[in-house]
């Protein structure tokens, strides 16, 4: 596997793990859904999955994760403005 392909795959796995971790941490009430940690996990996770989706030309997960990343970004902006 080429080095760039390996990096893309790692980003995708990070993305999946970050989103799953965010969901688990909120569900188990370890962090709040309006916390920086939750939103950063969602944003970086969505971006990781987006990179691998675009590289594989998988449009559905790419579209979903663009939407997911925009929501997380807006939430982070709102947190910053508080």
For residues 64 and 66, give the distance between their C-alpha atoms in angstroms, rounded to a whole number: 6
Q: Which of 63, 46, 38 is nearest to 12 (CA)?
A: 46
pLDDT tens per residue, range 21-77:
999 999 999 999 999 999 999 999 999 999 999 999 999 999 999 999 999 999 999
Q: Given this model, what pLDDT does residue 31 score? A: 98
Q: Given this model, what pLDDT does residue 43 score? A: 98
**Number of domains, the chain:** 1
Reported confidence tier of residue 4, pLDDT bands at 50, 70, 90:
confident
Which range of residues forms the domain containing residue 67?
Answer: 3-80
């Amino acid at each position: 596997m080429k080095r760039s392909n390996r990096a893309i795959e790692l980003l995708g796995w990070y993305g999946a793990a970050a989103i799953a971790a965010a969901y688990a941490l909120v569900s188990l009430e370890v962090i709040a859904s309006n916390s920086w940690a939750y939103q950063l996990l969602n944003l970086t996770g969505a971006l990781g999955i987006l990179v691998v989706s675009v590289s594989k030309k998988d449009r559905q997960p790419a579209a979903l994760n663009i939407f997911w990343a925009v929501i997380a970004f807006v939430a982070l902006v709102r947190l910053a403005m508080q």
